[in-house]
Structure 1
Amino acid sequence: MPMLGGSTIRIKPTEAIIAPAFNDGDSKEQILTALENAGVIRPPAVPYRNRLLFSPPALSNPITVNLPTGFQGDPAGSSTSTDILFIAPGVPRISGFNLTKGRNVRQIGGRVDYNPGSGSRAMQWAGISESVFIEGIAINLIRRPSDAFSAGGGGSLRPDVYLQNCWCNGLRGENAGLHPDFFQLSYPLRNLFSYKTTFTTNYQGFFVPPQSEITGDIHIIKSNAYCLDNTAENSGYGSAYWFSDTVDQWNNTSHKIICRDIYVAPGTDRTVRDRISIYAPGYEDGRGVLSADDGGSFVWYPDLYPRLSDGRGNPAKFREGTPPGGDYCMETDVGVGYNSPGYR
C-alpha cells in the first residue's frame, strides 16, 4: 500500500487491474458487476456487460479512406500487404462497397440506405489476407434483392472475419430468384466471429455453409432474426441460419459451429424449426428437433454435438421468439455517429 508522510493511501482498484485475473466471460462479467455494485472497484464509463466481445485487430500504417456516399472500390495503393481504415461519412451512404484486396481492413460505424442503380451487395469485402472488422453498421436495403454483408479471402487467403453490433432491414428473396442474405459466405475464411446482430428478412439470413473453405470455426453469439411471411411460391421456408447444403458437404468438413443466444421470430405460419438448416447425417431434410424448456420452444440437433455447440459444453439451441431484453442490436444504437462501447 503506498505511503505518504507516514499515512497509508487507499487506492480503489480499477477493472483493468482486476479483470485479467478471470478467464470465463460470463463469470468475469458477474464478478466485476458484483465488485462495482459493492463499491470495491471504480465503475468504468461503460459497464463491462455492455461492451462488445471481440476487439479489432491492430492496424499497421493503414491507408485511411473517408468514404463517399456513392460507390466505393479499392483505394489507391491497396494490396494484400496494406491495412486499410475506412471512415464513414456523417450521412447515410446510398451505394455499394466492393473491396477486392487488403490485409487488415476495418470500418466502425456508418449507415447504408442501399439504393444503387446496379449491384446486389451493400458491402462486399473479398481478397483480404488477414482480417475483416465490421462494427456498428446499419443497413437498410432499399434496392431488392440485395445481400447486406459478404466478406472473406480468395485463392490461398483465409482471413478472420468479424461482424459485430450490426443491424439490417429489408432482406428480400424468393426460391425461384436471388437469395439475399444478412451475411453471405462466398469466399474462403479462417474464422467468423459474429456478436450482437439483428436483422429482418422474408427469406434468408446467415448463410455460412462451407461452399468456400473454412479453416477455423464459426462463432455466432447473440443474434436475433425476424422472419416475415413470403408469398412467393416455395419460398416460405427460407432459413435465417443455414450451415450446410448437403450431408456430403457436412461430412467432408470439420469446422466447429458455435451458436449461443440465437433467437428467431419465425413468421405467422412457421416455427423456428422451419428457419434453421443443417443438412447432416440424421437430418437429411436440414431440420432439427423441436423441443421446449423453461425458456420456451427451441430447435436443436442433438446428434451433431459437440461439433455444433454453444461453446460452453452444451448443444446449441436456436430459440423461438425474441431475446428477453430486446433486440441484440437496435437501429438507433448504430449507424451514423456511432460510438463503440468498447471491448471486453
Structure 2
Amino acid sequence: MKRRFLCQALACLAVVSTSGLAFASPSPETFQAKRPLRLIAPSSPGGILDLTSRLLGKTLSEQLGQPVVVENLPGAGGVIGMQAMLRAEPDGHTLVMGSLGPNAANYALHDKLPYKFEDFAPVAHVLTMPDVVVVNPKLPVKTIAELAAYARTRPNGLSMAVSTSGSSGHLAGDLLKQRAGITAVDVIYRGASPALTDLVAGQVDFMVDNLITALPLVRAGKLRALAVTTRQRAPELPDTPTMAESGYRDFDVSVWLGLFVSSRTPPAVVQALNVAVNKALADPALREKLAQQGGTAAGGSTRQFDSFVRAEKARWEQVIKDGNIKPE
C-alpha cells in the first residue's frame, strides 16, 4: 500500500510546475484508496486554527474526492495537537495546522518540549492575518495611548485575556505591555471563544486576538478595536490605526498558519500534499471566504515555507530573550 502511494505521489510530482502557485492538480488517486485525510486543529472549536482548518479541509475534500476530517485537539498551547500528529503513521494522511506558538515561539518559551523543530516537515504556508487589540466598550479608552494611560491609573494594572499561551496574540500583548510600560495580568484560556466571551462580559479588560475571531464582535459593537498589529491597516477595519501609527514604529506582528507532517514522511508524499494544498488555496471561493474573515491565503513551495518558519523561530527567540517573556 505504501509503495503504491509513493509511486502515485511521484507520478503526480512529475507534472508539477515550479513557478509560484502554478501547480498541476494532483489526482484523487495520489492518496490511498479514498482513505480520509486527518487534519488536526490544535485548538478548541471557534478559533482561527479551527475555522481555517475547516474551510481548507472542505475545499481539499471537494478537489481530492475523499474525506478530510478535522479533529480538534486543544491544550498546552498547541503541544497536544502536535504530539498527536507525530504519533500517527508518517504516511501523509495525518496533518496538523501549525502556527507561531507551537512551531516557532515555543522553542524559546519552554525549557523542555516533547518534540523538536526537526520532527516536523513543512507542507505549505496557508494563511496570514493581523492581530487586533480589542477592549470591552465600557472601558473608557479609544486609543492605545488612552489604554496605556488608563492602565497606569489602576493600582493593580489591567487584565489581558489570552486565547492560548504562546500564541501571536499572547506575544503581541506582552510586547505591548513592555513597550507601553504597563502592568496587566495574563488570563490564559483554552481558545479564543471563552476568552472573547469573558471580554464581552467585562470579566477581563483587553485582548490581542486574531482578526478572524474578533472581527464579528467588533462589527456588532460588542468590542472596540484600538489598533492592528501589522504594518498596514486591515481593509476590514479601515479606520483602525496600526500599532506603528499609535506610536510604536517597530511593532509588527502577524498571525500565520501552515500545515505540517512528520519529518519521517516520504519527501515525495510531502510534495504531493503541497500540490494539493496549493491547488485548494488557489480556489477563488476559498480565498474569498478567508478574505471575508480578515485572512490572506498564502501558498508556495515547501522550501519557501521552511525558510519562513525558520526565520520566525529565530526572530521570536530574540524577542523572547530580550523581553524576558515567560510562559504562563
- Say whether the fold is shared (TM-score over 0.5): no
- What's the TM-score, normalizing by structure 2? 0.25
**Which structure has the greater CA radius of gyration?**
1
Question: Greater share of strand residues, 1 or 2?
Answer: 1
- Larger RCO (CA under 8 A, 6+ residues apart): 2
- What's the TM-score, normalizing by structure 1? 0.24
